[in-house]
Amino acid sequence: MARSTIQIPGPLRSFVAGTREAVVDSVTAGAAIQELVRQFPTLGRHLLAADGSFRPSVTIYVNDQDVRYLRREATPLQDGDVLSIVPALAGGSEPVALGSEMPRDRPLGLEELRRYSRHLLLPEVGVAGQKRLRDAKVLLVGAGGLGAPTSLYLAAAGVGEIGLVEFDQVELSNLQRQVLYTTHDVGRPKIEAAAARLTALNPDVRVTPHPGRLTAANALDVLRGYDLVIDGTDNFPTRYLVNDAAVLLGIPNVYGSIYRFEGQVSVFDATRGPCYRCLYAEPPPPDQVPSCAEGGVLGVLPGLIGVLQATEAVKLITGIGEPLIGRLLLYDALAMQFRELHLNRNPTCVLCSPAATQTGLIDYAEFCGVGEPPEGRAERVPTVTPEELKAELARSDPPWLIDVREPNEWAIAHLEGARLIPRGSIPEHVSELAGAPALVLYCRSGNRSGTATRLLLDLGFTNVRSLAGGINAWAEKVDPSIPRY
Ligand SMILES: [Zn+2]
């Protein structure tokens, strides 16, 4: 028996009563995870497949090595080993400069010499590096929490062309972290506000807008011609799409992802190292990892992760330093800790290995099990509108109102007469709920209550519905005194 420590990442901590580490006695990695699941049974479906093997959407490390390249579940453990569970988050070789081999000859002008003098003073960057930056073309997919700091620093650094893919508009709740935008921009298309801000920061930079969503139909055309892509997305279908298009075009993908207080950064460059699919062959099941809109995110976190992405981009462009290829950097803001894990190329990766079977882009919504947008999935369960619910609550036999959000959201606002049962604890309350004449479940916007309604329907409930649009719709349509968030 060896005594080892299992580090539990943020997205899974709600299943282990907030525990950050567990100590287990076992001889193999597989037995250690089984022991963890014995202590916390609800973790089982997140970590293990039906046959007891590790799920492909979760990567297990022993110390800094991926068990898939050791002996998988049979990897032996020794006293003091540290196991890390690295879930997919809703993200060393010779330095080689990207783009043209030699920077174009046009000399830096007087203004450029002044603007970039602190770069020019660095022998590692110098005039040649600054010209490489001027010649570089970088595409940012997403101008949100990660894209905001990344694009600001790349524009400041003098990257010649910055492409932006973004479909959204600026919302008040974005401003807590998306420092590219101001209060005046609320309601404005992000791509328009971003282009204005970046051009104001550095008029030498050409900002190329790609309004709309990145899709399998347009991704290759959008990415083609860029020297590298920066993944600032917040969902798995787009993350896989960015990875696949970058691998097919042979350009590096500077990856970043965030969740609440934790982030991941890496550089996926299939010409020199692993791709995102080598790390996660499959996405986690839909709804397993909530989005920032559901789970929240510390405002400064994407600032730090985005700046790390910008740093890697500048290094790749100028060809200096050690790129984060084949390494996954993990950051925990609460512990203020950085850790680094070694990433291997998967010799059977469907996309980037010699045995690759995938030669083009696929249907990413289907691949990630999200056939329709989240609203669409929630709509497939019976719903009730805020106005209908108001009328039903006034009757003599009102439905039971169940709030499936988390206690901190309940503290922001909740509906009168409702009962708080967070979505994750619903299975423990099934027998009480079975006594209800009818049930209406609600959350913030209708997604979580939709999946909770689906869960109860699958358990045989027939009298359960989800409040369409959640408490935010109720606030909009019925009771404006309730804050929307
Ligand atoms: Zn791969």
Q: What is the DSSP string of 116-177?
A: THHHHTSTTTHHHHHHHHHH-EEEEE--STTHHHHHHHHHHHT-SEEEEEE--B--GGGTTT
pLDDT of residue 195: 97
Whether residues 295 and 187 share a domain: the answer is yes
- Residue 256 CA to ligand 1 center (angstroms) comes to 17
CATH number at residue 449: 3.40.250.10
Q: Are strands 337-342 and 439-442 parallel, antiparallel or unpaired?
A: unpaired
344 with 417, same domain?
A: no
CA of 441 to the centre of ligand 1 (A): 41
Give the pLDDT confidence score for residue 58 in this predicted structure.
83
Parent domain of 329: 136-367
Residue where the block lists tokens 């420092």:
179
DSSP state of 54: B
User: How many angstroms is it from 159 CA to the middle of ligand 1?
Assistant: 28
What distance in angstroms lies between residue 330's CA and the mean position of ligand 1's atoms?
A: 20
Burial class (CB in 10 A: 0-12, 13-18, 19+), 353: middle
Residue 347 lies in a domain: yes
* Cβ neighbour number for residue 188 with a 10 Å cutoff: 15
User: Do 316 and 412 fall into the same domain?
Assistant: no
Same domain, 291 and 420: no
CB atoms closer than 10 angstroms to residue 298: 18
Q: What is the mean pLDDT of each run of 10 residues along the chain (485 residues)?
A: 90 81 93 92 85 86 92 94 85 46 75 96 94 97 97 98 97 96 97 97 96 95 97 92 96 95 96 94 73 78 98 97 96 95 93 91 84 50 95 94 93 94 90 93 92 90 94 95 91
- Residue 45's pLDDT is what? 82
Domain boundary pick from 334, 367, 400? 367
Q: What is the 3-state secondary structure (H, E, C) of 271-325?
A: CCCCCHHHHCCCCCCCCCCCCHHHHCECCHHHHHHHHHHHHHHHHHHHCCCCCCE
In this structure, are 188 and 269 located in the same domain? yes
CATH number, residue 160? 3.40.50.720
CA of 91 to the centre of ligand 1 (A): 14
Chosen domain end from 328, 349, 367:
367
Half-sphere exposure (Cβ direction) of 476: Cα atoms closer than 13 Å: 11
Q: Which residue has the tokens 């929307």?
A: 484
* CATH code, domain carrying 65: 3.10.20.30
Query: Do 384 and 316 lie in a common domain?
Result: no
The answer to whether residue 114 is domain-embedded is no
Among all chains, which residue has been given the structure tokens 């609320």? Answer: 186
Spacing, Cα 349 to ligand 1 middle (Å):
5
Verify that 186 and 315 share a domain, yes or no.
yes
Residues 325 and 423 in one domain: no
The helix (run of H) or strand (run of E) holding residue 440 is strand 439-442
Do 318 and 417 fall within a single domain?
no
| Residue 432 CA to its chain's centroid (Å) | 36
Strands 228-231 and 206-211, bridge-based pairing: unpaired
Query: Is 443 in the active site?
Result: yes
Write out the two tokens for 350: 């469907």
Exposed, middle or buried, 312 (CB in 10 Å: 0-12/13-18/19+)? Answer: buried
Q: Assess if residue 95 is contained within a domain.
A: no
Please tell me whether residues 240 and 282 are part of one structural domain: yes
Q: 352 — phi, psi (to 5°)?
A: -115, 0
Residues 387, 426 contacting (CB under 8 angstroms): no
Which residues, at least 6 apart from 411, have a Cβ–Cβ distance to it below 8 Å? Answer: none
pLDDT at 49: 86
**In this structure, are residues 228 and 251 in contact, taking their beta carbons and an 8 Å threshold?**
yes
Q: How far is the CA of 231 from the centre of ligand 1 (A)?
A: 16
Same domain for 223 and 326, yes or no, is: yes
The pair of structure tokens assigned to 403 is 């709030």
> Are the beta carbons of 234 and 292 closer than 8 angstroms?
yes
Inter-residue long-range contacts of 119-125, CB under 8 Å, 24+ positions, other chains counted = 119/157, 119/158, 124/318, 124/320, 124/321, 125/318, 125/320
What's the domain count of the chain? 3
Please indicate, yes or no, whether residues 179 and 245 belong to a single structural domain of this protein.
Answer: yes
Structural domain includes residue 117: no
Element (H, E) at 397: none
Which SS3 state, helix, strand or coil, does residue 479 take?
A: coil
List the catalytic residue out of 275, 278, 292, 368.
292
Ligand 1 centre from 247 Cα, in Å?
8
Decide if 151 is inside a domain: yes
Distance 117 CA to ligand 1 centre (A): 39
Write the CB contacts of 101 (distance below 8 Å, at least 6 apart in sequence): none
Of 367, 387, 421, the residue at which a domain comes to its end is 367
Rounded distance between C-alpha atoms, residue 100 and residue 106, angstroms = 14
Report residue 12 as tokens. Answer: 């899974």
Query: 275 an active-site residue?
Result: no
Look at residue 292 in the predicted model and tell me its pLDDT.
Answer: 60
Would you say residue 327 lies in a domain? yes
The pLDDT value recorded for residue 36 is: 92
Q: Which residues pair with 4 in a beta bridge?
A: 24
